[in-house]
Amino acid sequence: AQSVSQHNHHVILSEAASLELGCNYSYGGTVNLFWYVQYPGQHLQLLLKYFSGDPLVKGIKGFEAEFIKSKFSFNLRKPSVQWSDTAEYFCAVYSGYALNFGKGTSLLVTP
């Protein structure tokens, strides 16, 4: 089954700093990749997803991710974070009817 790994477990940034969160998937072939966000006390919401076509995917709230097949990566980026981006971020891959999630990255943005 496909799986993903997230390398940054806790990230602390100042407002206006740039963000990049790493996500690697397990093996090649056709992949459907997702980034979800969970704001404090809330449920998971979709940020963006990749299933084919343009490897640079744009999502909500200024987030984007780049699918790099040669590196098995799908990193999440944002050029300038805001305090309201404080949340937990999950990368996920579709595998056999369901999503397999990474362990998550907790992002704290300080004023």
Partner 1 sequence: NAGVTQTPKFRVLKTGQSMTLLCAQDMNHEYMYWYRQDPGMGLRLIHYSVGEGTTAKGEVPDGYNVSRLKKQNFLLGLESAAPSQTSVYFCASTQGTGGADTQYFGPGTRLTVL
**Binding-site string for partner 1 from residue 64 to residue 103, where x marks contact by CB under 8 A and - marks none:** --------------------------x---x--xxxxxxx
The b/e string for 89-98 (b: 16+ C-beta within 10 A; e otherwise) is bbbbbbbeee
Binding segment for partner 1 (CB under 8 A), chosen from 17-25, 49-57, 59-67, 74-82, is 49-57
For partner 1, which is the closer residue by CB, 55 or 79? Answer: 55
How far apart are the C-alpha atoms of 75 and 79, rounded to whole Å? 13
List of residues 6+ apart from 26 with CB closer than 8 A: 2, 3, 4, 5, 72, 93
Q: How many residues does the chain have?
A: 111
Window 3 to 32, contacts with partner 1 (CB under 8 A): 9, 30, 32
Interface residues with partner 1 (CB under 8 A) are: 9, 30, 32, 34, 42-46, 49, 51-52, 90, 94, 97-104
